[in-house]
Structure 1
C-alpha cells in the first residue's frame, strides 16, 4: 500500500461530534470480543494486571472494554476492578498530547517550529560537536535534534534545564549526527519542548496543558497527579510488574511470572500523591521535566477517544473548533521515513514519523493488525510495565486505543508475529479491529 495515500488532506469531515458511545457495538460481536480480550488478559504465558480498550469505527465509538484490576492488594488491601473510565499513566502517548498543546501555540502565532529553540528557552542550546547548527522545535518533534537520553531526561524542579544542557555532557549530544541528520528516539527532547512552552507563555506546564487541551475537551486528566480531583484520583490505575519480592521496586527491568504483582508507579493506597518538590517557588520556563511532557499524562481510554474523535473531526469538538484543519494536516504530515540508514528504528518500532506522532504504514513487518488493513497515525507507550497504543486512520476515521496496566513477564520474550509489538498487543489490536471495525473474528 502506498505510504503517502493516508494524507490528512483526504480526511473526511464527520460533522458535529456526537455523545460518546452513541452507536453501540453489534450485540453478536461484543460477547465474542469480550471473551477474546479476557483470554489475553488471563493468558498464563503472560498475564495483564489490567486492560482498558476503545474502538472507533467511521468516527463513532463502537466498543469499550475494561478487564483486570486497577489496584491489586495482594491479600492485604481490597482489589479494585478496572472500569472504562479508569485513568492510566499513558507513557509516551503523552508526547502526542504535548504536541497538540504546542500546535495551539503555533496557531496563536507564538511559536515558529523552524526557529532556533534557543530563543524560546532563553539560552543558547547547541550540540557542542555541531555548534553552528541550531536545534529547532521541528527537529525535537521528529527526534532528529541530536539530543540523547543517556545522561537522563528528568530532574527536580530546583534544577534548571539550562544548567543541565549548557555544560554539554557528552552523553547528552550525538557526536556523529548533527541536528536534522538522524532519527534517534529521545525523551529529553520533550522536556526541552515543555520548558520552551512554559517560557513562551509564562505558565507552568501542567496548568498550561489543562488550558490548551484538557479543559476545552471537557477531559478530567492531567500531567500532575497531585492536582487530580478526588473522584479522578480514585480511578487512577496502579501500574505493575510481577517480580520476586526481594527485587527493589525501582528495578523496573526484572520480571518473575511466579512472583507477586509489585506496584511500579501511581500506588496511592497509603497516601495521596505529593506535588513535585519546590513547586511553590518554581518559575515556569526553568525545567518542565518533573511534569513529564514526555510520558506523564494520566487519562482514561474513554477520554483518549474524545481526543481521537476531535482529530478525526478535523479539529472540531462538540461544534467548537479547537484546531484549524491545516494545523492537523501539518502535524500529521510525514516528516521522516526509515530507509535503513537515516535513523534507529529500535528493532522496527519506529518506521515513520510526523510532528510528535508515530506513523504506522500498512506493510509487512510493521502492521498493527494481523493481515493488515489498518494504516494509522498516533503513538505508542511503554513504561513501568504499561504498554499503550493510540492509533487512528484519518481517512476512514477508524481508531483503536489500548492501555495495558502491567505484565507478568518480559514482553521482549513474547515477541509479535507481524510487527515489533509484543504478541499480546498484536492479539488485542487484531481482536479489536476484526470484531469492532471490520466485523470479522480475530485469529488466535
Structure 2
C-alpha cells in the first residue's frame, strides 16, 4: 500500500526539494499558481495547467485546494490574537486550558505549555498508526477533533498504551508535531467556545476578504476544489480529523491577501490585522536553538519558521498537494505557491515546483506588474496579468525525497500517497 512519508522538519523537506535535479520536464505539475508581492506594492502572479485534467478546467490563482501544513500559520495567528486580547497565556499549562491532563509521565512536574506546542518542543510525537487514522476518505464519518485528541493523549493512562511523549522534558528538544499543532487549535476552540474553523473564519478569513478559503465540513464559500493527483493519477478525496494542522482549503489569491496583511502589519503599514498580534506571532521564541533543530531553521515564531535565508513562513504537503508560503521582512516581500500534485517520488514535479518558487523570488521589477495591491488587500476585483498564460482577476466576490524518518500507512481502503513535509 502506498505510504505517507514525513521529514523531521519543514526545513529539511524544503532543503531536500532544492537539491533535486534542475532538469525537469516542462509542465510536470498538473496545476500550479504562484504570487509574489514586493516592496512598494509591485506584485506578480503565475498560473498554469489544470484543476481538473480530464475535464479541462483551468488552474488559476482563484482555484481552491487544500494547503497542507501552511494551515498551521493560521493556528499561530489565532493564538497570538487571543494572547493580545488577554484571553490565554502562552506559558499556561495546556492541560489547565483544556480541562484534562496533558502530562509527560516521565516529567510530571514539567508543564507542557502553548509556547512548547507552537515551537514543536512539547515532546509530543505523532504516533504513526493513530495519526494515519486521522485521514478519512470523503463520505465517511469524521471524528470530533476534541474527542480524537483527548483519546490520543490519554490512551496510555486509560489502556496501558505507550506514552505519546518522548523521553525528554517539555521545552528541551525540537521535534515536529502535527498532534501538538492540533492541540493548540483545540485550546483556541475550548477557550472561545467556538469551533476552530468558525473562529478562524470570523477573526481572520472574513476580515481579510478570503472568500474562497475555509475548512471542509464547516461553512465554506470556496466552491469546487482542484482535483489532487499523484504522478498523474487522481487521489481519492479525503478529510482530516485534525483539520487545523493541515486541512485549510484556500487559493493563491487568498493566501497572498493573508501574507500581504501579515507583512504590512509587521512593517507598521495599514492592515486588517493587529500589528501587536502579528509581531507576537512572528517573534523569535528561542534565545538559543534547542537540540534537534535542523540546520536550515534559525528560530521559530508561533508556528512560523524562521529560515537562515531570512524568510519566515511554512511549507505544506499531503496526498496530492504541495504548498509554500513565506514573507521576507528584509525585502518587504511575500510569496505563496500551490500545486495540486504530490511531489513524492516525482523528481520532475518537485524540481519544477522549486524552480518556480525561486523564479518568483527573482521577479522584482515594479514596472512588470499588473496588480493593484490596495485592491488585493481589500478583496476588490483587480486586473492581473498571468505571465505566460492567461489573464484573470482577483475576485472579492464570492504531510521520500530525502531521508524519510517515518512512514505511515493510511487506515483506508483507498490509496493516498504523498510526501508530507513535517510542516504540514
Same fold (TM over 0.5): yes
How many residues are treated as equivalent by the alignment?
332
Q: CA deviation at 1:150?
A: 1.7
Whole-Å separation in 1 of the counterparts to 2:127 and 2:288:
22
**Counterpart selection for 2:175 from 184, 187, 196:** 184
Any conservation in 2 of the 1:198–1:204 contact (CA below 8 Å)? yes
SS in 2 for 1:206: helix
Distance 1:299 1:437, change over 3 A: farther
Task: Name 1:302's counterpart in structure 2.
Answer: 253
- Check the 8 A contact 1:59/1:398 in 2, yes or no: no
Q: Which moved more, 1:376-385 or 1:310-319?
A: 310-319
- What secondary structure sits across from 2:190 in the alignment? helix
**Is residue 113–residue 138 contact of structure 1 (8 Å, CA) maintained in 2?**
yes
Change (3 A) 1:425 1:439: farther
Pick from 143, 148, 153: which aligns with 1:156? Answer: 143
Residue correspondence of structure 1 range 209-220 to structure 2 within 5 A: 209-220=200-211
Residue in structure 2 matched with residue 436 of structure 1 by the alignment: 364
Residue 163 of structure 1: SS of its match in structure 2?
helix
Q: CA deviation at 1:163?
A: 2.7
Q: Are residue 174 (structure 1) and residue 162 (structure 2) matched?
A: no
Shift of 1:190: 1.5
User: What corresponds to 1:406 in structure 2?
Assistant: 341
Select 2:93's aligned residue among 110, 116, 119.
116
Aligned to 1:99: 76
- The CA distance in 2 between the partners of 1:410 and 1:263, in whole Å, is 15
Query: CA–CA distance in 2 between the matches of 1:433 and 1:237?
Result: 25
Tell me if the contact between 2:261 and 2:271 (Cα under 8 Å) persists in the aligned partners. Answer: no
- Classify the secondary structure of the residue corresponding to 1:381: strand
Aligned with residue 243 of structure 2, among 274, 288, 292: 292
Instruction: Give the unaligned 5+ runs of structure 2.
Output: 1-20, 135-141, 369-424
1:56 aligns with 2:28: no
**1:393-422 deviations in Å (ceiling 9; x for gaps):** 1232112111121147615x569xxxxxx5
> Residues 434 and 98 from structure 1, CA distance in 2 versus in 1: closer, same or farther, beyond 3 angstroms?
same
Describe how 1:337-356 pairs up with structure 2 within 5 A: 342-345=291-294, 350-356=297-303
Deviation string 1:142-185 (CA, Å, 9 cap, x unpaired) is 0000000025344711835323212334262102x210011111
Give the deviation of 1:218 after TM superposition.
1.4
Cα distance in 2 between the residues matched to 1:433 and 1:320? 23
Report deviation, 1:210: 0.7
Does residue 285 of structure 2 align to residue 335 of structure 1? yes
TM-score, normalised to structure 1's length? 0.68
CA distance in 2, matches of 1:59, 1:342: 39
Q: Please report how far the alpha carbon of residue 320 of structure 1 lies from its aligned counterpart in structure 2 after TM superposition.
A: 5.8
Q: CA RMSD in A?
A: 3.1
Alignment pair present for 1:359 and 2:306: yes
* Superposition pairs of residues 123-162 of structure 1, within 5 angstroms: 123-151=100-128, 152-153=130-131, 154=134, 156-157=143-144, 159-162=147-150
- TM-score, normalising length: structure 2: 0.71
Q: Does 1:165 align with 2:142?
A: no
Aligned to 1:222: 214
Residue number in structure 2 paired with 1:21: none
In terms of Rg, which structure is larger?
A: 1
Q: 1:338 & 1:68 partners in 2: Cα distance?
A: 44
Q: Is residue 196 from structure 1 mapped to residue 187 from structure 2 by the alignment? A: yes
- Higher relative CO (CA 8 A, sep ≥ 6), structure 1 or 2? 2
Cα distance, 1:103 vs structure 2: 1.3
1:361-414 C-alpha deviation (Å, 9 max, x unpaired)? 12xxxxxxxxxxxx2101111111322111111232112111121147615x56
Give the Cα separation in 2 of the matches to 1:307 and 1:180: 30
1:64-79 aligned within 5 A: 64-73=45-54, 78-79=55-56
Q: Say yes or no: does 1:265 pair with 2:193.
A: no
Q: What SS does the corresponding residue of 1:330 show, helix, strand or coil?
A: helix
Q: Compute the displacement of 1:434 (Å).
A: 1.7
Please identify, of 133-142 and 388-397, the stretch whose mean Cα deviation from structure 2 is larger: 388-397
Q: Per the alignment, in what secondary structure is the counterpart of residue 334 of structure 1? A: coil
Bigger Cα displacement from structure 2, 379-388 vs 145-154: 145-154
